Amino acid sequence: ELETNVGLKIEPVANSDAIKVYGRGEMHIAVLIETMRREGFELQISQPQVIMQEIDGKKQEPIEYAVINVPDDMSGAIIEALGKRKGIMQNMKSENGNTMMEFEIPTRGLLGFRSIFLLLTRGEGTLYHSFDHYAPHVGEIEKRTVGSIISAETGSTMAYSLWKLQERGPLFIGAATEVYEGMIIGEHNQGTDLAVNPNKNKKLTNVRSSGADEALNLTPITPMSLENAIEYIKEDEYAEITPSQVRLRKKHLKETDRKRA
């Protein structure tokens, strides 16, 4: 791969089976992983990191120049979203029902933004960006505000358990799915991680209920794609990529280990 992919660089990690892969961006890395996946490889990836520079003894990060075109009624949501990611508007112009905006934004702020942009614009916007210059590090950027729903047991999921859990946030898996301890099965709306047992079935008794059993209406799930998984994971999470599945997990599978870390 290194002989044909000139933008790729690989560096082994000392005392580990892991390797660092340097590329030109999220899409470049995603294409490489998808190629390996189709060739039958199984791998585990961590959260992408932006390459920093040290200039005159100070930490500097890459700043991108982004040009965005969206319908007028969607511009406010885009400005708010990029503002949270340290984006600074340089220009704005409205014409024929569309708004054109120009931003300077850290590359870190654009990681994972593509899927949010598609959601906010319902596919009606365009986003172009390219490297512009290096600037002093702008501080932490808050991206994902939701927590994770984590399986605390290994086994096959039950519809009854998932029906109860979907009140806590959207799920990534359906009923009769094999899960393991430490696997991420959904989002927790409250912003904290929540360990649950998705394999628990409804208890049966000899007592007849006065009312009919509740209908188990499960919300349809959206399977986690490779691109979404790369954008979604946090520092303490991994994405597991296999030829047949894309799964998310915590770096520390046991809850006791996560509390110690």
DSSP string, 116-152: HHHHHHTT--EEEEEEEEEEE----------EEEEE-
167 and 249 fall within a common domain: yes
What CATH number has the domain bearing residue 228? 2.40.50.250
Residue 204: pLDDT band with limits 50, 70, 90 = low
Number of structural domains found in the chain: 3
Last residue of some domain: 136, 156, 172?
A: 136
What are the pLDDT digits (tens) for 213-256? Answer: 556 777 888 778 888 888 888 888 999 999 988 999 999 999 88
What are the pLDDT digits (tens) for 75-116? Answer: 999 999 999 899 999 999 998 889 999 999 999 888 878 878
What CATH number has the domain bearing residue 111? 3.30.70.240
Residue 54: pLDDT band with limits 50, 70, 90 = confident
130 and 154 fall within a common domain: no
pLDDT for 210 equals: 45
Residue 141 located in a structural domain? no
List all residues 6 or more positions away from 183 whose beta carbon is below 8 Å from its beta carbon: 150, 151, 247, 248, 249
What are the pLDDT digits (tens) for 16-36? Answer: 788 898 888 888 888 889 998
Q: What is the mean pLDDT of the chain?
A: 86
Residue 46 located in a structural domain? no
Residue 28 token pair: 């470049």
Amino acid of residue 173? I
157 and 252 fall within a common domain: yes
- Range of 25's domain? 9-41
